[in-house]
Amino acid sequence: MNDDSVLKAVCDAVVLGTDENEQPIHLTQYEAAKAIKAYLEASWRPISEADKSIAHQEHFPSVKMTLRHSERYWVRDNDGRVYEASWSEGNNGRNFWWDWEGESPVNPVEFMPHPASTLNAKTQGLRGAAI
């Protein structure tokens, strides 16, 4: 599914009202794109709100190392770069955010929770969105 087909589906799904002939009035693709962009921009949360609970543990016996990390999040740094990262607890007590693509420690400032997550429902004042 490409961006145009997603926008068309959103436009078809949203009915703003009816015209004088009782035909539905839909969003334009421009309006839909603008609304989606605004929603996504408003969804970024401070990194301090991210759940750092350890969800995964991987053992690497050949190098005598255990990797412990949280779920993965889409995060954004001060420069606006967006990438996938998780909170990692190292063997030597060094805890840090880990960039999975760049394979290095990072310092993100924001993260985007899953749209249906309980956190998103709490922070955006929604009800019934918990999984």
Query: How much is the pLDDT for 73?
Result: 93
DSSP assignment of 52-64, as one string?
Answer: ----EEEEEGGGT
Mean pLDDT, the chain, integer:
82
Q: pTM of the predicted model, to two decimals?
A: 0.65
**CA torsion 44→48→53→57, rounded to 10°?**
80
Report the greatest alpha carbon distance in the chain.
Answer: 73
Q: Where would I find the H helices in the chain?
A: 3-13, 29-43, 118-123
Q: How confident is the model at residue 118 (pLDDT cuts 50, 70, 90)?
A: low
Q: How confident is the model at residue 1 (pLDDT cuts 50, 70, 90)?
A: low
DSSP at 78: T
Average pLDDT, stretch 110-121? 71
